[in-house]
Each structure stands twice: as C-alpha cells, then as structure tokens.
Amino acid sequence: MRILAVLFGCLVYLLGAMSRVAVPGMVFEKIASEYALSPSQVALLPSVGVFGCLAFIGIGGVAVDRFGWMKMLLFGSLLQAFGYIPVHESSSLLLMLAGEFLNGGGRTIVYLSILKLFDVSFERRYFAALIGIFYLFSYGGTLSASAVFPSLETLCGSWQLAARAINVGTLTLAALIALVVCFGKREETSSTIREAFPWRGMAKSFAEPMARRAILVTGLNIAVYWSFLCVSAAPYARSVGSVSLVSEMNWVVMFGMVFMGSVSYWLGNRRRPFFIWGAFALALGFALLAFAPSGFGVSHAAYLLIGAGYGVTSVLLAGTKECVAPVYMASAIGFTNFFANIVQIGGNQLSGRLMADGPEGYPWIFAMYFILALISLVLALKVKKCCLGGASVH
C-alpha cells in the first residue's frame, strides 16, 4: 500500500507542478490578452498560489507530523484538484485567485505528506537519495509545463481545456488514493499518528543557529528560482528568441534534483558544499542576466547556471531537516517553504510590475534575484554543520 500511495501521490504532485508553471507561466500573454489584465494582475495568479502554499505550509507541516501522512495525502490531493477548477473554468480574476490559493495549499500538503512517508519508512541517511526519486516526478511536471503543455493545449484547442484535462487526471488519482487510505490505515503506526506531539521542543529545535541558516539559505534559493520560473523566465526567453531555454533549465534542475541526493550520500552525506554551490550558481546566473550584454549565448549560460544552482535543493532540504529532531521533519520543511513563499510573493509582484515597463524592466528583475542569491551565498558560507546528530545520517 505504501508503494501505491507513493506512486499516486507523486503523480498528483507531478500534475500540480505542471499546472503551476503552465498557468500562467506558459500562457502569460494569452491570459493578459483574453481577460484584459495587466502583467501585474496576471502575476497575482502565481503569487496567490504561493500565498496558498504559505498559508497551509506552516500548519500543514505540523499537521502531517501530528496526524500522519496517509490522511493528509488524500486531503491535499482533493484540495489541489478542487482549487484548480476555477482556474480553468472561470474568467473572473477573483475566482481564479481563490482557486489558485486552494490549489497551492493542496500541493503543499501533498508534498509534505510524501516527504514524511519517506522519513518514517526508511533510515534518515537515505532521505536525500529518496527525495531524488520524488523530484523525478516533481520536476518532471515542471519540465512538462514547457515541453508538453503547449502540445496538450494544441490538442485540446485552448489552454483552459488543457488545464481541465490535467485536473481530471488529478481527481482520478485522488480517488485511487482514497482507496489506499481505506485499505491501508494499519500501515501507519500508532506512534506516527497518536502519540502526543512534543510542542515544547519545537521552538528550541528551530532556535539552533544551523537550523536558522539552513532554512534561510534553502528558502531564498527556492523563492528566487520559482519567482523567476513562474513570471519572467518564459517571456524573457521568448524576447531573446528561444523559449526552449526554459525547458533546458528545467532539464538541468530535474537532473540535479534526482541525482544530487545520491551524490551527497556517496560523499558521506556531506551537505555544506551543496549549500555553497546552490547559492553561488544562482547568483552567477542572475548576474549574467542582469549585468552582461544581452543575447542568446549569455542567456543560455545563465539559464543553465540557474538550473544547476537550484538543482541541489533536494540536498539542501535534507540538510535542513537534519538540523532538527526527527519528529519535526515535516515542520522544518514546512517552515522553510513558508519563508520561501513570502519572498516569492514579493518577487512575483515586483517582477510583474517591472515587466509592465517593457524590455527595460528585465535587468532590474534579474538584479533583484542576484541580490537575494548573494545574501543566500553569504549565509551558506556560514553553514558549517547541517546536522545536529551527524551519526544518524552517516
């Protein structure tokens, strides 16, 4: 039953990642034209989706730790599907925003539930490698937004119908997860869902300096990449003559997310080099976009660097959760993403505002991302040990 739950949950998240980037990222200009919206208004869609993640992720992490991954996986899958309905069925910006909010919350709970399943079912030292399997689906979905969604849109006749097809798939998978929940309740041990949750230890655990630094570095990297991907990455790539840059960047991300956890494991579960590299590559990539002469060659190198920098985030998440006690695993990742979502919302909206100024706005957008990545790099250099109990993961 656990294997089926992992498979169905990963497929739900794949479709969620695909829809998150596809709308509005791949159809940004179409939404603006069809619904007579400004770039800033269209940018509200990913921002509100991220706000949904933000609203659910802090309590979602605690809820998964407290009530168990199985029930929360079903709840998150249903919420993800229900929230996406107004996005593809309504032309009202208000209803679309409400749907994005719930969809973001559902995606978040699915994400945390799957990671919790890995943590309670296997030894902690294997977590970084296992998360790579999950990210094969996660960033496979992200990649599909740029590589598959345009073809699906052509096949269906509109982006709305393509989004509807994605949601039908999500609802089908949610029904299959419901069957797993009905027949697999005994697989969640009583210790996972019934023992008293140690609330008093949470503040102390997250007050550790390494925990704070790991959360900040990982959160900044997540915010920078996703804000770029959801708003300006595709429009800028089109402006330099090749939207394929987004797909190439996502291929690099997916490769890193899938395999860097195993590389870290083979290196003795070392985390610090990955913290430094992730922030450095992101900073360098956005520095090229912001300050180097524009052109396809520079943009190509920058997009690949951004993908390579973000591609080690699976290792960063493993290092972050290892900075707290095992019982707070989902909470640690939840709080990391909570911080990332706050930063991303600001980045999304500022990007949308600057894009309204035309091509002159892009260097300012990339300079903003460069500054955030540089802050992450400074903090990463101070991450000397990312695990409170090193022996537990080696």
Structure confidence at residue 190 (pLDDT) = 39
17 and 80 in contact (C-beta within 8 Å)?
no
Residue with tokens 């939840």: 334
Structure confidence at residue 85 (pLDDT) = 96
Helix (H) or strand (E) holding 294: none
User: 342: number of CA atoms within 13 Å, CB side?
Assistant: 9
Structure confidence at residue 196 (pLDDT) = 52
Amino acid at 25: G
Structure confidence at residue 204 (pLDDT) = 66
Residue with tokens 């309590």: 59
Q: Judging by beta carbons within 10 Å of its beta carbon (0-12, 13-18, 19+), is residue 391 exposed, middle or buried?
A: exposed
Amino acid at 264: S
**300: its two tokens:** 């190509």
**78: its two tokens:** 């249903």
Distance CA 274, CA 314 (A): 10
**What parts of the chain have a pLDDT lower than 70?**
184-205, 207, 296, 384-394
**12: its two tokens:** 């739900």
Contacts of 117 (CB under 8 A, 6+ apart): 2, 5, 6, 9, 69, 73
